[in-house]
Structure 1
């Protein structure tokens, strides 16, 4: 799998497994496609490709149902157009799930689109809100380095 535009980090503790990933796309000049449907479809595609369970047919996807509502909020952060998506992930072909927070940022100075996602699996932890708040705080600190060029690195 080509991971030249994808990074993933994980903190796997016995009762609280947390991870985050970052994906980016260069040379994005038109962002008319950028909406919640595109964000969710791209999230699901990236999770299926990169965030696997114990076997190849187990992968993370979004839980879409009436019981758990997904929240999408767009905002401006300095020069960035940003979207924050909160919801619930589930493991396809396995009994796992948990909360996620996703941030999608467009940087017009670099014509780069970034997607950052924080997720948690902690079935024995009753209060997950403190972790969601932590994920949201980290996601809102995002800054792009406009001097970095992958092709010259």
Structure 2
């Protein structure tokens, strides 16, 4: 009798332990790149709060030739917060409640995941919270999406030893990119897609090329246009790739691999030709190696969305590790 009771107790404890372990296992988050799940009741979504969210999180991406939203937004009522929506990588929960709150929870339902909880007593309070915290929210989401894109890239990597040997940098590049040009101080990789291609450039110039006066943006444009003249052109004569003169590029000073860098986003075109597209150019001031290292991504995908193509190029470039020669 005692043995029977002991066996029952042992099995019960074993099953309880297994259930607890299963509870501790966090699900893998899902969802397309740059997609947000917004949990908010329909009446709030159709009013001022919804307008505020759309204006902030679906604003046009900088540097694209046509308007595309910063993030793809899917809206759900609060009833879905216990369902499949909790697998989303990014969730923003907005409620009218007695307590005013802005809270960020990491991996609340799945991993990796960011859940942003926003609540207030009124529409005005919630809009105020959104106005104050949106830059922080966008920064966190973009950083997380870069990491997710890099995780996907890491599954199938191109052998990039040739890049390391030439430029002394490590880059994580998907295996569907191929080397199309290899010069003494210039390298061009390309990925063919159904609607065109995605491209990655690497080259280096003396630091004074970028910092010889205060107009750094102008210097970067002159530099990339000279590279286009040398290496990238259309099938006709005198058709180099140049920076589109009709659109002023966006320019930011950032850090990349812990070094000062300049990020420039805009559109390119082929001179005397019809082809055009988007580019993102990063100039890393690599003082230990006495050079400016340039990593640029550009895409050609006429009449198709380019946001996620360009984001993949950003994720590749932001995986860079610069080594001393």
Counterparts of 1:1-153 in structure 2, within 5 Å, are: 3-25=183-205, 28=207, 32-33=211-212, 35-65=216-246, 68-125=247-304, 127-146=305-324, 148=325
Decide whether the 8 Å contact of 1:61 with 1:92 is kept in 2.
Answer: yes
d(CA) in 2 for partners of 1:115, 1:32: 14
The C-alpha deviation readout for 1:113-152, integer Å capped at 9, x for no partner, is: 1111111111142x21111222222222222221x3xxxx
- SS in structure 1 of the partner of residue 202 of structure 2: strand
Q: Which has the higher contact order (CA 8 A, sep 6+)?
A: 1
Structure number with greater Rg is 2
What are the ranges of 5 or more consecutive residues in structure 1 without an aligned counterpart? 149-153
| Counterparts in 2 of 1:130 and 1:79: CA distance versus 1, 3 Å | closer
How far residue 3 of structure 1 moved from its aligned partner, in angstroms, is 2.6
Decide whether the 8 Å contact of 2:266 with 2:278 is kept in 1.
Answer: yes
What root-mean-square deviation, in Å, do the aligned CA atoms of Structure 1 and Structure 2 show? 2.2
- SS in structure 2 of the partner of residue 109 of structure 1: helix
Aligned length: 142
Decide whether the 8 Å contact of 1:71 with 1:86 is kept in 2.
Answer: yes
Decide whether the 8 Å contact of 2:198 with 2:309 is kept in 1.
Answer: no
Structure 1 ranges of 4+ moved more than 3 A: 28-32
Normalized against structure 2, the TM-score is what? 0.41
Which structure: greater strand fraction? 1
d(CA) in 2 for partners of 1:36, 1:29: 13
How far residue 105 of structure 1 moved from its aligned partner, in angstroms, is 0.5
| Counterparts in 2 of 1:122 and 1:82: CA distance versus 1, 3 Å | same
| Counterparts in 2 of 1:74 and 1:144: CA distance versus 1, 3 Å | same
Normalized against structure 1, the TM-score is what? 0.82
How far residue 29 of structure 1 moved from its aligned partner, in angstroms, is 7.5
What are the ranges of 5 or more consecutive residues in structure 2 without an aligned counterpart? 1-181
d(CA) in 2 for partners of 1:38, 1:19: 22
